[in-house]
Each structure stands twice: as structure tokens, then as C-alpha cells.
């Protein structure tokens, strides 16, 4: 059974191994030079107390560089990999055998169909998880200088924190869970739909939906977010949006600097504690920035911030990995049940 699994899977395995090797070479070469660059940028900064400044300069220097391109490619790759695993490894696993009729050949050899499924799903699933884990490990190592610089630097728009999306999904161990889930999802939809192309399309659609919805709707609530309240002053306003002349709205936010934190929401409230959305002050409608900021300051607004602190990074990683692996196991169990009930041919 192992032999047949390998014989049928070897082309995909070679493609995956080649892809991993190519990624490893690129990440190794570019990662070593990125780490060197980072260490050179902040060398001796502790003695001068200029670490925040130098780390900021380092982040600034990455803009438009080839490193940014590598980061983009690797991010896309790690996000797409579990979907590809589901679409090309999971979905066709059973549907292709149904379509070519070979299931009737394989399932009448002296190997029970549940054993057939266990060997196939076990081995290919583990390869999928190992590939995703390896890729994420390499990516985590590669991007580490950027995370370190972001933690050292003062609040910057280009700071990257590993807990915030999209960073969270491309490092640590969560990609292992995504790969297991993607594979099991493809397998399950294949078992249910029984035709390769529709199963592939459904896998892609469902996986993409979960990938988009999850970080917005579910992940923030895995642990209760922290709340922080702060005075909005002329000095800390970092964005101001006003509607048209007749809409009377003004949205104001203040800088919230907590390195590593994943900010979920920022809401201005007035002295009575009600959400503040306008109307704009006179100074803001007509005057300059200075006068406008000063006028906002006089409104005595506060900002309520909900966020997940950076220290919860590993807790989130473990929770997320455990959830996705558990769902994958449930799906596999369902397929196992379905296959043993002989509903397929």
C-alpha cells in the first residue's frame, strides 16, 4: 500500500520538494544578507541610546528593496500553499480514482478500503504538514530581523508585528494547521462531490473564504482582547477624517504605541463616554492643521483601544494550530466513516 501511495504521489512529491528547495535557497541567500544588514544598521546603538532611530532607519531602507519583493512572494506562497495542497493533493485523491474507475481495482485487492484511506491520508497529510511547517520555519527565520527592528523602532506605519495579520499566518506553527486543514477539506469535498474539477473549485472557494474570514471574525475572539483608554491630545492625533460639508462627521484616532500589539479597534468617545463621530470643529472645517488639532484637544475626547498584546503570540499560534488540526481530524474521520459505508462507487 505504501508503494502504491508513493508511486502515485511521487510526481507531486518531487514538485513540492523542488519548490521547497528553491524557496530554501532564495531565503537562505537573501536571509543571511538581510540579517547582516540589520545587525550593521543597529551596531552599537545601545551605547548611544539610538536604537529606536536606527531600527526605524533600517525599516525605512527596506522600502522598495528586493527584500520587500521576497517578503511579498513568501507571504503569498505560504498563504496559497495550503489551498494548493487541498486542491491538488486532497480533492483528487479519491475523485480521480472514481473517475478513472481504478477505485474498483484498488478496493478489490487484499487491502481493506479503510486501510487504503489511512495509508494515503496519513502519508500525504504528513508530507503536506511537514512541507508547510518547513516553509513557515524558513520564512520565520528570514523575516525575524524585520520583526526585531519593528519592536525596537518607535511607532511606525511600516512596522511589522508577527501577531497582526497578515504576518500571523506566515510564521510560527499555524501554517502546519492550515496545511492539514486544506488537505482534509479537499479530501472531504472530493468524497462528497465525487468529481475532480468541481471538488477542486469548491475546495478553493471554501478555503479562501475561511482564510479571509477567520482573522477578522474568529481569531480576535480566541482570547478576550485587552482594552485601553487614553486622552486624545493635539500631540497624539494620527488621523482625522471628515465627511462632506453636509454630513457633519469627523472620525479622529490617536497614536497607540504598544510594540507587538495587534490593534483590533480604536474608537473616540466624548466626555460622557458616547462614541464621537462629529460634528467637526469650526477650526477643522476652515483652519489649518495646528488650529484644528488644538480644537480637538479642547473637546476632551478619549480613545478606547481594544487589542491583543504581542506577548500572546504563542498562545494564539497554539490555539490556532490546534483548532485547524482538530477540524482536519474531524473531516478525515468523516471521510473514513463515509468510505467504510461504501457510498462511493
Partner 1 sequence: MTVVLESRALSKRYGKRPGLTDCTLSIPAGRIAGLVGPNGAGKTTLLNLAVGLLAPTSGTIEVLGGTPASSSEQLARVGFVAQDTPTYAGLTVADHLKLGARMNPGWDAKLATHRIESLRLDPRQRAGKLSGGQRAQLALTLAIAKRPEFLVLDEPVASLDPLARREFLQGLMEATVEQELSVLISSHLVADLERVCDYLILLTDSRVLLAGDVDDLLATHRLLTGPRRDKAALPAQWQIISESHTDRQSTLLVRAADPVTDPAWAVDQISMEDLVLAYMSKAAITPDRNRTLEVQR
Q: Is 345 in the site for partner 1 (CB under 8 A)?
A: yes
Q: Does the protein bind partner 1 through residue 337 (CB under 8 A)?
A: no
Minimum CB distance to partner 1 smaller for 106 or for 228: 106
| Distance, first Cα to last Cα, the chain | 20
The whole-angstrom separation of Cα 42 and Cα 1 is 56
Minimum distance from CB of 106 to partner 1 (Å)? 8
Name beta bridge partners: 312: none
Chain residues 62-121 in contact with partner 1, contact rule CB under 8 A: 100-102, 104-113, 115
**Considering beta carbons, is residue 216 or 345 the nearer one to partner 1?**
345
Tell me how far, at minimum, the Cβ of 18 lies from partner 1, in Å.
19
**Nearer to partner 1 (CB atom), residue 104 or residue 282:** 104
Q: Per the structure block, which three cell numbers stand in for 321?
A: 494550530
How do beta strands 226-231 and 302-308 pair? antiparallel
CB-count burial class (<10 Å; 0-12, 13-18, 19+) for 274: exposed
Using CB atoms within 10 A of its CB, is residue 240 exposed (0-12), middle (13-18) or buried (19+)?
middle
Residue placing its CB nearer to partner 1 in the complex, 89 or 262: 89
Minimum Å gap between C-beta 337 and partner 1 is 13
Site string (7-26) toward partner 1, x via CB under 8 A: xx------------------
Q: How many residues bind partner 1 (CB under 8 A)?
A: 23
Complex with partner 1: residue 100 or 270, whichever CB lies closer: 100
* 270 vs 302: CA distance, rounded Å: 6
Within 8 A by CB and 6+ apart from 129, the residues are 176, 179, 180, 183
**CB nearer partner 1, residue 1 or residue 327:** 1
Q: Which is nearer to partner 1, 81 or 339 (CB)?
A: 339
Q: In terms of CB distance, is 110 or 246 closer to partner 1? A: 110
Min dist CB 343 to partner 1, Å, is 8
Cell of residue 69, nine digits: 519583493
Residue 339 beta carbon to partner 1: minimum distance, rounded to whole angstroms = 12
The set of cell numbers assigned to 311 is: 506577548
| Shortest Å distance, C-beta 115 to partner 1 | 7
Instruction: Kindly state the smallest distance separating residue 195's Cβ from partner 1, in Å.
Output: 17
Of 208, 239, 223, nearest in space to 316 by CA:
223
Least distance in Å: CB of 122 to partner 1? 17
Q: Could you tell me the smallest distance in angstroms from the CB atom of residue 334 to partner 1?
A: 18
Cα atoms in the Cβ-side hemisphere of radius 13 Å centred on 84:
16
- Helices (H), strands (E): how many in the chain? 12, 5
d(CA 210, CA 225): 21
Task: Identify which of residues 185 and 191 has a Cβ nearer to partner 1 in the complex.
Answer: 191
Residue of 48, 221, 274, 342 that binds partner 1 (CB under 8 A):
342
> Where is 47: in which H helix or E strand?
helix 45-48
Torsion angle, alpha carbons of 251, 255, 259, 264, to 10: -10
Report the run of H or E that residue 268 belongs to, with start and end.
strand 262-269
Q: Which residues of the shown chain bind partner 1 in the complex (CB under 8 A)?
A: 1-4, 7-8, 100-102, 104-113, 115, 341-342, 345
Amino acid at each position: 500500500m505504501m508503494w502504491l501511495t508513493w508511486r502515485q504521489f511521487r510526481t507531486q512529491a518531487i514538485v513540492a520538494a523542488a519548490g521547497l528547495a528553491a524557496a530554501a535557497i532564495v531565503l537562505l541567500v537573501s536571509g543571511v544578507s538581510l540579517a547582516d544588514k540589520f545587525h550593521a544598521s543597529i551596531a552599537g546603538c545601545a551605547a548611544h541610546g539610538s536604537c529606536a532611530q536606527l531600527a526605524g532607519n533600517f525599516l525605512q531602507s527596506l522600502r522598495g528593496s528586493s527584500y520587500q519583493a521576497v517578503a511579498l512572494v513568501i507571504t503569498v506562497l505560504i498563504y496559497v500553499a495550503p489551498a494548493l495542497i487541498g486542491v491538488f493533493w486532497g480533492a483528487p485523491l479519491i475523485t480521480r480514482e472514481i473517475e478513472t474507475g481504478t477505485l474498483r481495482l484498488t478496493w478489490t485487492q487484499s487491502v481493506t478500503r479503510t486501510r487504503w484511506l489511512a495509508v494515503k491520508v496519513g502519508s500525504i497529510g504528513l508530507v503536506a504538514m511537514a512541507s508547510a511547517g518547513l516553509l513557515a520555519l524558513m520564512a520565520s527565520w528570514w523575516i525575524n530581523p524585520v520583526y526585531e527592528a519593528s519592536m525596537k523602532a518607535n511607532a511606525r506605519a511600516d512596522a511589522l508585528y508577527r501577531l497582526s495579520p497578515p504576518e500571523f499566518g506566515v510564521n510560527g506553527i499555524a501554517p502546519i494547521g492550515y496545511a492539514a486543514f486544506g488537505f482534509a477539506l479537499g479530501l472531504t469535498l472530493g468524497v462528497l462531490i465525487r468529481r475532480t474539477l468541481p471538488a477542486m473549485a469548491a475546495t478553493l472557494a471554501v478555503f479562501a473564504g475561511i482564510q479571509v474570514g477567520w482573522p477578522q471574525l474568529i481569531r480576535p475572539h480566541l482570547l478576550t482582547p485587552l482594552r485601553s483608554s487614553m486622552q486624545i491630545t493635539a500631540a497624539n492625533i494620527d488621523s482625522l477624517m471628515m465627511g462632506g460639508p453636509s454630513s457633519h462627521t469627523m472620525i479622529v484616532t490617536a497614536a497607540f504605541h504598544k510594540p507587538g500589539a495587534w490593534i483590533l479597534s480604536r474608537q473616540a468617545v466624548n466626555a460622557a463616554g458616547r462614541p464621537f463621530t462629529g460634528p467637526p470643529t469650526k477650526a477643522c472645517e476652515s483652519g489649518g492643521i495646528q488650529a484644528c488639532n488644538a480644537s480637538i484637544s479642547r473637546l476632551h475626547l478619549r480613545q478606547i483601544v481594544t487589542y491583543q498584546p504581542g506577548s500572546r503570540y504563542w498562545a494564539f499560534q497554539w490555539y490556532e494550530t490546534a483548532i485547524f488540526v482538530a477540524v482536519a481530524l474531524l473531516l478525515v474521520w468523516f471521510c473514513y466513516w463515509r468510505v467504510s459505508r461504501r457510498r462511493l462507487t
